[in-house]
Structure 1
Amino acid sequence: MDDVACDAGALSETVVFLGHFKDLPDGRQSAKVRYPLDEVLLLCLVAVIAGAETITDIARFGDRKLDLLRRFRPFLEGVPSHDHLGDILASLDAEHFQRCFVAWVASLTGAPEGVVAIDGKTVRRSKGSRNAEEPIHMVSAFAARQRLVLGQVKVADKANEILAIPKLLDMLAIEGAIVTIDAMGCQRTIAQKVLDKKADYIFALKGNQGTLRDDVELFAAEQKARNFKDATVSRASTVDGNHGRIETRDITVIHDVDWLQKSHQWPGLKSVVMVQSTREVAGKIERETRFYITSLVLVANLIGPLIRDHWAVENSLHWVLDMVFRDDACRLRTDHAPANFTTIKHMALNLIRRAPGKDSLRLKRKVAAWDDEFLVSVISR
């Protein structure tokens, strides 16, 4: 076993992510710890990359891949049982774990470029019995251009996103980025927080801001009827079509908003955006008008793609977690375990995305399970 420990020590520097979790508090009594925390975290991450979906999967992976794990750490006592593993994940402080995650991602990416989309997702099976607490809700920040999770915060339910978003922003280094949030996060305090972080914002505007949306909608309707002759605007159009669907988007940016600021005093507000979409599917036509407020001073053909980039958080994060990582099927319910396991999935997703090759995420996970050297290359990045 001494040779094993020596070899692991020689190779441990290749597991870069562990250095960012070395200060993560471990509430276990040190004299009784059989499984060091760095070994537990390494086991969980490697197993999830290779396709593990449950705590039982992770424990079984550890039993079968102990030789591989010992290339990085000694694992003198082997790996914990699934019950013990679940207890360890439940005991780790989720907020501290998330802060370690943010520091690790920042070391990989530096300051994010372009859109940072913030949105929440409920882990549906994390609710226990009928009278138990509600399923956990994770609010995540997603770098649309790099397609990487930047950070996440656990909240009790969707209604608490307003409280969680400032905490998430406090953790992130986003100078120069553009933060996009749906209508729930359209709050003055959040807008000011984004500006304080030296970033810009684009917020969807709905009815949760009193008369703000009504005033914007009325002004836009009046000006459209006059062909915007009394307002400084820029306009652009896009047409997309696939799978029998054709969608046309007409984007209008209203650049003079002094009239709006006099009534509403919104932090950093520079422009209002109106997006009118027409969607044709199987001969049926649907029309929708959406409004946004932004601190940016950009013309329509530049701001339109930024608004569309927000949906990367749905398509490239939430959908992937459900369809590739089976997140909604996860039944972890104890203490911090659901939030910590979601963070580990985010870590795995980031590493798989950074792995070279054109295979799908699903196939990369399969290859990681089949090919130890590929798996080693993924976690060594």
Structure 2
Amino acid sequence: MSETTNKLKTVFGQLPDFRRSHKQLYDLESILLIGIISVICGADSWNEMENYARSKEEFLRTFLDLPNGIPSHDTFNRVFSNIDSAQFESCSIQWVNTLLELQPQEVVAIDGKTIRGAKANGKKSPVHMVSAWANENNLVLGQVKVSEKSNEITAIPKLLEVLSIKDTIVTIDAMGCQTEIASAIIEKDADYILAAKENQAQLHQNIEDEFRFGKSLSTHQSLELDHGRIETRICSVMTDFKFIETNNKWKNLTAIIKIESNREFKNLEKPTEQATLYYISSLASTNPEDFQKAVRSHWAIENKLHWTLDVAFSEDASRKRIGNAVQNFSILNKIALNLLKNEKSSKIGVKSRRLKARWDNHYLIKVLNLMKV
């Protein structure tokens, strides 16, 4: 276990301590380690963090120096509310890169999530985070908090700037369909698939015209039967444009994609759902099956990340509001999620894995041993 904690200290020991040295009862590394471990083991609040640590004090003392005992919930709150979030996130990204083995053409989905409980002082909007999810690796690559006076359009380039995404396919919904974002992805030696909707009215109209009048296209049809529904998806790809500007406005634009979905329900009382979605891409491929797979993979960020954070970590109910507490606890959740999802010996859900780690120190050590550097 000492080797594991040394690795943790190597990664997160780079964080500068904002506290005055003569007032420190607990070293920053111990607070960080207890924070990470307690969140893995089910703590969703500062009080639960303290309660977990007190219940496991004997175990924690086997690898942590705790001359003044266990920090109080107020100490955890104060420390995690004041740690510089950008530096904490930078350490987290460095650590993720030690776990990461991105595959060529792996889908990296970028999307935002609102932490609805973190709303205070009459503010209209709660905290919003933009995260990147590596689909095949099952890992959160990083996150950026959206500024209160901004939106995802300005946050996404900041996130791209700190990620290592060479040779991947970055997928983003319509909010990210911006020329600057397309260029930023290409500059990171990656490709993009961006959803095109009415927020880019001229582009959307031009794509519709291409598919209405164009003849040179390839198609692929998929059929999915699941949860009492039958969904047919037809993906069409076109690489020969007549209506879309192919100059540097959309950097390296090589393909436009149309996906037509038809969803029928076994319950005949439910009406059939139909939708047509458009995308632009820098991928050189003309195989519609490749695009079909990549677009479907994008939604893993909703199912495997956002949904799991709400269900297994109760993130949407979080009421943390002071200083950097919301962002830093979100980083803790994502560190825990990365470790728990990549511990393969237990075929149970993430929420159950958190409970198992709390009850079983041997399992917890197995989870922590994934934190290689």
Category of TM-score, reference length = shorter chain = over 0.9
Task: Check conservation: 1:212, 1:264, Cα contact below 8 A.
Answer: no
1:115 aligned residue: 107
How many Å apart are 1:263 and its aligned residue?
Answer: 7.3
> Is the Cα contact below 8 Å between 1:118 and 1:139 reproduced in 2?
yes
The one-letter amino acid paired with 1:290 is L
Distance 2:3 2:19 in 1: 23
Aligned equivalent of 2:355: 366
**TM-score when normalising by structure 1:** 0.92
**What CA distance in whole angstroms lies between the structure 2 residues aligned with 1:274 and 1:157?**
34
Q: CA deviation at 1:285?
A: 1.0
Structure 2 equivalent of residue 296 of structure 1: 283
Tell me the distance in 2 between the aligned counterparts of 1:268 and 1:46: 44
In structure 1, the residue matched to 2:299 is: 311
- Superposed displacement of residue 338, structure 1: 0.5
Q: Note if 1:234 corresponds to 2:224.
A: no
Measure how far apart 1:179 and its partner are.
0.4
SS of residue matched to 2:92 = helix
The partner residue of 2:140 within 146, 149, 152 is 149
TM-score, normalised via structure 2 length: 0.94
For the Cα contact (< 8 Å) 1:126–1:330, is it kept in 2?
Answer: yes
1:241-297 CA distance string (max 9 Å, x none): 112111000000002136412478311100000000001122321110000000002
Distance 1:124 1:363 in 2: 24
The Cα of 1:128 is off from its aligned counterpart by 1.7
C-alpha deviation, 1:356, in angstroms? 2.4
Runs (5+) with no aligned partner, structure 1: 1-9
Q: Count matched residues.
A: 364
Answer yes or no: is 1:28 the counterpart of 2:15.
no
Answer yes or no: is the 8 Å Cα contact 2:313–2:333 preserved in 1. Answer: yes
1:262 and 1:143 mapped to 2: Cα distance? Answer: 29
One-letter code aligned to 1:188:
T
Asked whether the 8 Å contact 1:135–1:156 carries over to 2, the reply is no
Q: What CA distance in whole angstroms lies between the structure 2 residues aligned with 1:101 and 1:65?
A: 25
Q: CA separation in 2, counterparts of 1:112 and 1:137? A: 29
**Residue 335 (str. 1) matches residue 323 (str. 2):** yes
Deviation at 1:133, TM superposition (A): 6.7
Q: Is the 8 A contact 2:114 2:127 kept in 1?
A: yes
Which consecutive aligned stretches of 4+ in structure 1 deviate over 6 angstroms post-superposition? none
Cα separation, 2, equivalents of 1:351 and 1:27: 28
Query: Does structure 2 conserve the Cα–Cα contact (< 8 Å) formed by 1:22 and 1:38?
Result: yes
Counterpart in the other structure of 2:88: 97
2:117 equivalent to 1:125: yes
How far is the alpha carbon of 1:167 from its aligned partner? 0.7
- Paired letter, 2:185: V
Write the letter of the residue equivalent to 1:295. Answer: S
- Corresponding residue SS for 1:137: strand
Cα distance in 1 between the residues matched to 2:324 and 2:116:
15
Q: Deviations over 1:52-99 (max 9, x none)?
A: 111110011111111221222212222211112101111011111111
Aligned to 1:254: 238
SS at match of 1:126: coil
Q: Tell me whether 260-269 or 364-373 shows the greater mean CA deviation.
A: 260-269
1:21 shift after superposition: 1.6
AA aligned opposite 2:120: G
Aligned partners of 2:135 and 2:175: how far apart in 1? 20
8 Å Cα contact 1:139/1:155 also seen in 2? yes
Amino acid at match of 2:132: A
* Sequence identity percentage: 39
